[in-house]
Structure 1
Amino acid sequence: MTARKICHNGTYKNESEPIIRAGNKSYRYGDGFFETLKVWKGAILFETYHQKRIEKSLDILQYARPAHFSITPIFSQVIQLCEKNGCVHAARVRLSFSHGNGGLFDGDDQLQYIIEAWPLEPANNHFNENGLVTGFFREIKKSCDSYANIKSASALLYTVAANYSRLHQWNDCIIWNQRENICETIIANLFWIKDNRIYTPALTEGCVDGVMRSFLIDQIGTVTETPCRTEDLLGADEVFLTNAIRGIRWVKSIEEVNYKGNLSRELHQQYIQSLF
């Protein structure tokens, strides 16, 4: 069996090869961020949205960029890597950026990146008819600053929440911010529906600036971005989650509260299923 490849700063290597130094700032301090991309039939879905978010993340983190830096060649390497790994028809890709090697007050500050690619089952394009079972994660609260909108390599909150979710046999769990409002889930942005109106937490509430979130807000045109109190969510008619890989996923229950999925299914058919 051919060894799976990764791409490190434009060079393709076997994934088993060591590629980062012990002084890598993303490894040492979580000083990095990543994009999760979906490749379908040889193209990156929502490429413009991903490019915009990468550039925004670089600006917020004040990362030094090489002269004439462009994300376009990196996106080309994403497709090339998928071809090498035999998954160019349907793939999940992680594109990770870090800010070089060194300590907190010194270092080379050289932008580095790693691309990983895995086959993606077509079932990820379908609506989840059985619904998700979820609950609340109460132990760690997320901040509400602009850094919270980045898909940060510093992911302790999410790894602890994922362990908590597995312990309770949930599919995902809901995260609060420091204002005691609903923020997002471990791997998705959150929307709720009440009286046929669609809502989602505002970016100022600390949620990740999700690509699928942005796409749906642009496409639907009537989504209200607002703080989400616990009672808003528990009193909703429907709840659904979004991310770039799975599109829209209907939430069947949050702990003891059950939800319908009719409008969530319609939204999936209109805005997600039509892509495939």
Structure 2
Amino acid sequence: MINFNGTIQENNTTILPDNRGLNYGDAVFETLRVSGGKIYFWEDHYFRLMASMRILRMEIPMSFTPEYLEEQVLNTIASSGNKNGAFRAKILVWRKTGGKYSPTTNNVEFLITSEELANPFYTMSDSFYEIELFKDHYINSGLLSTLKTTNKVLNVLGSVYAQENDYANCLLLNEKKQVVEALNGNIFLVKDYKIKTPPITDGCLNGILRKQIIKILGQMPDYVLEEESVSPFELQKADEIFITNVITGIQPVSKYRKKEYSREVAKELLAKLNVKARLG
């Protein structure tokens, strides 16, 4: 029996599935942007998912080929009746139940969800976007912090803090008090011709858009990219700060404390990102 919101009833797996991802955070996921029947940067997403499953010692089924998972995502979207629209899709993979904290199986199950997006391509909002540091809790620098797992309590608490204090986003710190990432994406700082982003070793998410922006910057001779630790003091010295994730694309920051920022580099990168996304 279970008690669901005060109502006692038979255990209904629709309400309370026997799911280790739900019960223990023992799950990984990929959030995808799909437009016109094409998954943006699918190869990068697929290999990151496989790497995450290996790191968490999940058994990867033989059926989990790039073609199979891509087909499952597109079939899910097609079932909405608008297969050529723009969608956010999510692949969630969890270890099958076989024990409590210590599982007795490494076999997995998966779930794919989708929801429609307004714009087929990446756009840039003109809305004011103020950020602040979230210092109540810290990310641990290390390999596990770079994975997209369902252990996101820190990000949730940071989002509550941002909402309560009228910030659009917050930046997270690691145990060394270095700036690691935003609540929902990687960060880049622009100072003159140099563009800086925290390294993976500091504990930031191994983001797909982060990887794409780094590739694009490698083809732009006017800029020099540095993957180095970022001190909070550098935030107010930057000319520009932007946040990247696979759904939004590039989000420029308007203000951090007393410092306001431009968005010229972000606009330049957005145009190149849309070309890269369409051409694959």
| 1:93 counterpart = 2:89 | yes
Does residue 78 (structure 1) correspond to residue 73 (structure 2)? The answer is: yes
- Does 2:57 correspond to 1:55? no
Is the contact made by 2:35 and 2:120 (CA closer than 8 Å) also made in structure 1? no
Residues 1:118 and 2:115 aligned together: yes
Equivalent position SS for 1:122? coil
User: By how many angstroms is 1:129 displaced?
Assistant: 2.4
Query: In 2, Cα distance between the equivalents of 1:171 and 1:187?
Result: 11
Tell me the alpha carbon deviations over residues 228-262 of structure 1, each in whole angstroms, 9 at most, x when there is no partner: 00111221110001000111111001133211111
The aligned counterpart of 1:40 is 35
* Residue 181 (structure 1) aligned with residue 178 (structure 2): yes
What is residue 66 of structure 1 aligned with on the other side?
61
Which digits, 9 at most, give the CA deviation of each residue in 1:172-222, with x for residues without a partner? 111111110000011110000011211100000100000000011122114
Gaps of 5+ in 1: 1-16
**Measured at CA, do residues 119 and 180 of structure 1 come closer, stay the same or move farther in structure 2, by a change above 3 Å?**
same
* 1:143 equivalent in structure 2: 140
**CA–CA separation in structure 2 for the residues paired with 1:152 and 1:138:** 21
Correspondence 1:255 to 2:257: yes
- Counterpart Cα distance in 2 of 1:272 and 1:213: 14
State the alpha-carbon separation in 2 of the partners of residues 219 and 19 from structure 1: 44
Identity %: 25
Letter in 1 for 2:56: L
SS at match of 1:163: helix
Q: Cα deviation per residue 1:95-145 (whole Å; 9 max; x = unaligned)?
A: 111111131223332211110000001187211223421111110100111
Residue 21 of structure 1: CA displacement? 2.8
**Change beyond 3 A, Cα 1:49–1:67:** closer
CA distance in 2 between partners of 1:205 and 1:251 (Å): 22
Q: Give the AA of the match of 1:256.
A: K
Structure 1 segments (4+ residues) deviating >6 Å:
none
- Check if 1:267 corresponds to 2:261: no
- Separation in 2, partners of 1:123, 1:242: 17
- Alignment: residue pair count: 260
Corresponding residue of 1:8: none
Contact 2:185–2:244, Cα closer than 8 Å, also in 1: yes
In structure 2, stretches of 5+ residues that fail to align are: 1-12, 219-223
Change (3 A) 1:171 1:273: farther
- Give the TM-score taking structure 2 as reference length: 0.87
TM-score of the aligned structures, taking structure 1 as reference length: 0.88
- Name the amino acid aligned to 1:268: L
